[in-house]
Structure 1
Amino acid sequence: MEKLLAALGEEDGAIRFVGGAVRDSLMGIAVEDIDCATLHDPHEVVRRLEAAGIKAVPTGIEHGTITAVSNGTVVEVTTLRADVSTDGRRATVAFSSDWQEDAARRDFTINALYADPATGEIFDFFGGKDDLEARRVRFIGEPLQRIAEDHLRILRFFRFHARFGQGAPDAAGLAACTRRANDLMALSRERVADELLKLLRLPDPRETVALMHDGGIFAPVLPEITAQGIERLASLIDTEQAAGLEPAAIRRLAALLPQDEKSARDVAARLRLSKARTQRLARAAAPCAMLPHEQAYRQSKEAALDRLAIEGRADAMADLADWDVPVLPLKGGDLIARGITQGPEVARTLRAIETAWIDAGFPTGEAFEKIVAKALA
């Protein structure tokens, strides 16, 4: 980190930490992502980094962002900017040398804090430190204008409130988000999904999610979420906390949706979730006819625990939590060795043995051999 700061002019005041790294440091939260703002244009950033032996990846060079990678440390370095034009999804920017102009284009006051890496001095142009102290999430300037620049800020407002806010949300911000909720339809579904899942994986977002539902925020993009889903989410979070289960965004999304596989798969397709996430969502949202241990064996332990958590069955979860999913102690080759002719009969017999073994509670040893013997008789 020291080498990067020196290369980009730490001693000349040409680079500052910005955003979440400053905010989280002031709150005593471990910093995960490091972002810096600089006076240098992106090509000069690349030149200086490479001269210092630091890998420079032009991840968003047209918008002024370079990713610096050195000794396992990843830092996003962005040239000071001002918006030239916006359409709610993307912006055309012009590079700047004015720190306050750069701060003015950011979303919330608590995300527009800068820190001098050499002196530790905090630069706060819009009252972000006071808002941090008050645990208040507040748009910079006019909320409707900020939302018009990037519609995703509607969802970000609620996520940041769920993470940092206390009490009721900022009234002006809430009113603007409620008024402009339909703007979410203009966003790519991937961006909506990413922001929603970030919200749902927070420790306890239930009050914020309920507020979003009451304000009609979900209706344009996820009309499947109803009051019953909000109640299920609250119950699920209680169960997770009682069972010591880590929050899982997909499990929580499943609780919010109608409890059937088709609805879950429709939502997954709309949000363009990965195949693995789609499968987990579909299994978590649909009541399962199998007993928990059978579901864990045939699908996955994760699927069984998700479903039990949504159903509030803490006792069954505890019984399943320490259970190691067994492997059927028999293969098709073993049946052939015992005289079954190769072909469909092997698969049929193996399935019959597996079903009887599951029904008997996954026995081993002599009890399992009795099941095999009966199938072969």
Structure 2
Amino acid sequence: MKSLQSAEWTRREGLARLTEALGAENLRWVGGAVRDGLLGVPVNDVDAATTLLPAEVIAACARAGIRTVPTGIEHGTVTAVLKDGPVEVTTLRRDIATDGRRATIAFAAEWREDAARRDFTINALYAHPETLAIEDFFGGRDDLAAGRVRFIGAARARIAEDHLRILRYYRFQTRFGADLDPEAEDACAELAHTLKGLSRERIAAELLALLALPDPHATIARMRARGVLGVILPEACPPQVALLGRVIAAEAAQGFAPDPVRRLAALLPPSPEVAETVAARLRLSKAQRARLVAAAERRAEDAVHPKGLAYRLTPPVAIDRLLLGGAEAAALKGWEVPAFPLKGGAVVRRGVTAGPAVARILQAVEARWIAEDFPEESRIETLLTEELARAGA
């Protein structure tokens, strides 16, 4: 496991400015940036914990010329807007009461108190902003090195505090875990029904984040076997879970990046009505819903002419349908859809009266142009002449 001394993100100019503004002893980098930095994984977002109250953070940043946004000030979070990326700065907290969906918090004075309310040991690592020394209260570094995803404290109690931790456990276990934690697995299965009380947006965000990982197939299969997947996605029966495995393998073999919406489509039967229902239930975006429905309309003949399919439906939708159907889609990687070069005016100049006849000839020429794999414009003239003769024009 690497040291944070070699982590590029720790040398960002903006972090040095923030440290100077707030004071090194009042600040620690925390969570994913520390965890991923120790693993040598690239880091985008950096989060910070502080002993200062939100108003003190805002005032200190203002004196240093750092703009802040009160993104979650009711929970103690202020975002410092820095040249090399925003940093969420959150005052140390402890939970007063939880109901599985939200927590009532109070500000805390000790780093350990703040660490104790976090979900997993590997997410409760704090780094001093100047020395980069790690404060680890619950054995997170050892767990990270061993590939263990372990709740801080009793798994059932931590899940009862926030039901979303069930899905977070599966996501982190897929990404970092080498071995399963029997206590966590049993707790997730036992409390799976509590996921029904969460907002659909939170469910969708975690599910798509899990599906975006390189290979979540074994996890998804385990979630279904333990009764967890059925709570959030009852449509995903064993054949669909098996299809997910084939799609993941096809993406890797054909050089496509993992795509969570395509993988979600694999977990659903090929029914546009089901796709519409799931998209509405998970409150997906319009673009995600459209892709899910288009993928559900896949058919065997999609593989006959992949570029023709991409021309009609856009390359992303065509790639989805081909991979879901077990066909080759590599030819579409980086392929740009050509514009049909023939316009109605060219048909009119050949003696056809403007109106429906022009549209019919354009459609006939375009269909042949697609079938011939988009030949050069010189071929268009020949196709037009032949279609005009066929139409008696």
**Given the two structures, how large is their TM-score scaled by the length of structure 1?**
0.94
- Of 127, 134, 142 in structure 2, the residue corresponding to residue 130 of structure 1 is 142
Match for 1:130: what amino acid?
D
AA partner of residue 369 (structure 1): E
Residue of structure 2 equivalent to 1:2: 16
Gaps of 5+ in 1: none
2 CA distance for matches of 1:322 and 1:62?
46
Alpha-carbon distance between aligned partners in 2 of 1:142 and 1:319, rounded to the nearest angstrom:
50
d(CA) in 1 for partners of 2:199, 2:360? 47
Q: 1:347 aligns with which of 343, 359, 362?
A: 359
Q: Distance in 2 between matches of 1:361 and 1:32?
A: 42
The amino acid of 1:273's aligned partner reads L
Q: Which aligned pairs between 1:95-134 and structure 2 lie closer than 5 A?
A: 95-134=107-146
Any idea what SS the aligned residue of 1:351 has?
helix
Q: Show the 5 A alignment for 1:14-53.
A: 14-53=26-65
Match of 2:152 among 140, 151, 154: 140
- Offset of residue 322 of structure 1: 5.6
Compute the RMSD of aligned alpha carbons.
Answer: 1.6
Give the equivalent residue in structure 2 for 1:297: 311
Contact kept? 2:341, 2:377, Cα under 8 Å: no
Following the alignment from structure 1 to structure 2, what is the Cα–Cα distance between the partners of residues 254 and 42?
43
For residues 259-338 of structure 1, the aligned pairs below 5 Å read 259-288=270-299, 289-290=301-302, 291-314=305-328, 317-321=329-333, 323-338=335-350
Q: Secondary structure at the match of 1:141?
A: coil
1:68-107 per-position Cα deviation (integer Å, ceiling 9, x unaligned): 1111321110000011122212111111111111111111
Taking the aligned partners of 1:347 and 1:255, their CA distance within structure 2 comes to: 38
Q: Is contact 2:243-2:267 (8 Å) kept?
A: yes
Distance 1:227 1:373, change over 3 A: same
Please show how residues 171-186 of structure 1 align to structure 2 within 5 Å: 171-186=182-197
Distance (whole Å) between structure 2 residues aligned to residue 76 and residue 376 of structure 1: 66
Aligned to 2:4: none
Deviation at 1:342, TM superposition (A): 2.8
Tell me the amino acid that sits aligned with residue 118 of structure 1: E
Alignment partners' CA distance in 1, 2:332 and 2:73: 50
Residue by residue, what CA displacement relative to the aligned partner does 1:32-79 show, whole Å, maximum 9, x if unpaired? 210110000011111111111111000000000011111132111000
CA contact under 8 A between 1:260 and 1:287: conserved in structure 2?
no
Whole-Å separation in 2 of the counterparts to 1:122 and 1:232? 43
Higher mean C-alpha displacement, 95-104 vs 259-268: 259-268
Q: Secondary structure at the match of 1:68?
A: strand
Structure 1 residue aligned with 2:71: 59
The 1-side partners of 2:190 and 2:155 are apart by 11
- The letter of the residue matching 1:240 is E
Range with bigger deviation, 352-361 or 16-25 = 352-361
SS at structure 1 position matched to 2:229: coil
Partner of 2:251: 240
Q: Which amino acid aligns with 1:61?
A: I
Provide the rounded CA distance (Å) in 2 between the counterparts of 1:27 and 1:322. Answer: 32
Code of the residue aligned with 1:103 in structure 2: it is: A
- The answer for the alignment partner of 1:223 in structure 2 is 234
CA contact (8 A) 1:88 1:150 kept: yes
SS in structure 1 at match of 2:57: helix
Structure 2 letter corresponding to 1:285: A
Give the share of equivalent positions with the same residue, in percent: 53
TM-score, reference length from structure 2: 0.91
Specify the alignment match of 1:371 in structure 2: 383
Ranges in structure 2 where 5+ consecutive residues have no aligned partner: 1-14
CA displacement at 1:248 relative to structure 2: 0.7
* Cα distance in 2 between the residues matched to 1:185 and 1:319: 42
Find the aligned partners of 1:217 and 1:286 in 2 and give their Cα distance: 27
**1:250-277 superposed Cα distances (whole Å, 9 cap, x missing partner):** 1111111112222222211111111111
1:83 pairs, out of 78, 85, 95, with 95
Query: Residues of 1 paired with 2:334 and 2:121: CA distance?
Result: 46
Distance, in Å, in 1 between the alignment partners of 2:92 and 2:56 is: 13
* Local SS of the residue matching 2:232: coil
Displacement of 1:325 in angstroms is 2.2
TM superposition shift of 1:357: 2.3
- Paired residue type of 2:133: E
Q: Equivalents in 2 of 1:338, 1:92: separation in Å?
A: 76
Greater Cα offset, 229-238 or 256-265: 256-265
In terms of mean alpha carbon deviation, does 153-162 or 112-121 score higher?
A: 112-121
Correspondence for 1:73? 85
In 2, Cα distance between equivalents of 1:156 and 1:333:
58
2:149/2:176 contact within 8 Å kept: yes
| Mapped contact 1:35–1:77 kept (Cα < 8 A) | yes
Which amino acid is the alignment partner of residue 233 of structure 1? L
Offset of residue 163 of structure 1:
0.4
Q: Matches of 2:120 and 2:330 in 1, distance apart?
A: 42
- For 1:195, the equivalent position in structure 2 comes to 206
Quote how far apart the aligned CAs of 1:281 are. 1.7
SS class of match (1:92): strand
Deviation, 1:283, is: 2.0
Distance 1:292 1:275 in 2: 25
Q: In terms of mean alpha carbon deviation, does 332-341 or 211-220 score higher?
A: 332-341
Higher mean C-alpha displacement, 256-265 vs 38-47: 256-265
Counterpart CA distance in 1 for 2:162 and 2:271 is: 34
